[in-house]
Chain A
């Protein structure tokens, strides 16, 4: 198709179409609806030969995908916010059963107060459910991630479901020029799905059994190793992707002007685009600042962060999430990486963008300004007069 003007949702839908799933089961929810609508159109007009199953809820959407995966079909579903939470019970069935389902999640706030706009509290609340979690920055990366997700998830050493996250509205509904690869190219990148973990008349199997205390740990350990293996498979997928499509991705993290940076902002998702612009402006003024974008948060880039942050004087984590009673979950994860690597620098947490609140260039400027103080603080952006907790007082 070449260059097209597409929203993030549409770009992801085209990426999924090129990955030729055999079963799609989904239930619409704002702001995910368009990816499902687009795929149903592509199935109807014959561009995609897949079974499109309209289900009555998100719980059923993922249950249906698990069933389809359990007979060896490449499957796709998509959700957002309360829908993700409603299917939460099934998330661990998919991961524990080692079914490589791909799901797009349109990041959206969770109730109450009810709100349809973007933040990342939905997916980040599900970090421990055994799914790979990736976060796209723009529409092109969304399409590319859709293609790469199956490569990673279906790899025998991984065998894990894959959740690709797109910021609600800011990414899902914003139109950009996107390069849509040719079908032949996509086919040469992604082989058909072949698995032994399926129901089969020729070789009957006993799927999804129980394991008591004696063996349970072993199965959970294997699941953990599968997600850790995803690190090398992501690198392998990106290398092959670059060879075929000419677009090179950077693994679990993307480092932007961090080589000699004293102050580094770490974030994830679409806000990284604005941070890059701000970094360029501050660099032009001679300030040594940089950005790290977490492209994946499961598996978590412990070693990659340690390598990228070892010469920094202070870092800040900007995230659209809070784990009430503690701090932002991404901040907790980043601090653990620093601690394990023996890096002792000030790290601050900026909780912003909740319920779709805009994160402005001025907010980012303020973060880089405050980083120079090299203090550990936790604060909310967007409260008007920001409340600020200086660690450990008031925490």
Chain B
């Protein structure tokens, strides 16, 4: 299962845990600030072979209602998924 962020990032100290531990599935911060280019999946070309999922070093590729998707909160934009895709179903777009 894809981890998800807390819906609201806590503003008050008292809302943050004392130890670096949340209940499973929650993360304290996004980590994608240095991405220059983002992978975009062209679903009409995608066969769902999941080679991109297997090769992604950050584990950000997942299936959303049966379709391959990217978690942009954690994708660093390395482009390995684009390189590995035999069906040219992933293109890299510049971040604006």
Contacts and interface: CB of A to CB of B under 8 A. Distances in A.
Interface of A: 96-98, 159, 197, 203-212, 214-215, 218-219, 221-222, 226
A226 B20 CA distance: 14
Contacts of A97: 19-21
A154 to B, nearest CB: 13
Contact of B21 (A207, A218, A221, A222): A207
Prevailing SS type, chain B contact patch:
loop
B19 A214 contact: no
Contact of B18 (A159, A205, A207, A212): A159
Contacts of B19: 97-98, 159, 197, 207
B29 A222 contact: no
A226 B33 CA distance: 31
Contacts of A159: 18-19
B5 to A, nearest CB: 11
A44 B62 CA distance: 50
Given A215-B16, A221-B13, A222-B13, A206 B29 contact: no
B54 interface: no
Given A97-B19, A159-B19, A218-B16, A211 B29 contact: yes
B12 to A, nearest CB: 9
Interface of B: 3, 9, 13, 16, 18-31, 33
9 contacts: A98-B19, A197-B21, A205-B24, A206-B21, A206-B25, A208-B21, A209-B20, A211-B28, A212-B29
Contacts of A215: 9, 16, 28-29
A222 B16 contact: yes
A219 B10 CA distance: 12
B28 A209 contact: yes
Nearest to A217: B13
A210 B16 contact: no
A212 B22 contact: no
A205 B22 CA distance: 6
Contacts of A96: 20
Contact of B20 (A203, A204, A208, A212): A208
A70 B77 CA distance: 33
Cβ-closest 3 pairs across A and B: A204-B24, A98-B19, A212-B29
Contacts of B3: 206
A72 to B, nearest CB: 12
A204 B22 CA distance: 9
A205 B9 CA distance: 18
B4 to A, nearest CB: 11
B20 A205 contact: no
Contacts of B27: 206, 209-210
A144 to B, nearest CB: 28
Contacts of A218: 13, 16
Contact of B29 (A98, A205, A210, A226): A210
A219 B21 contact: no
Given A210-B28, A210-B29, A211-B29, A98 B20 contact: yes
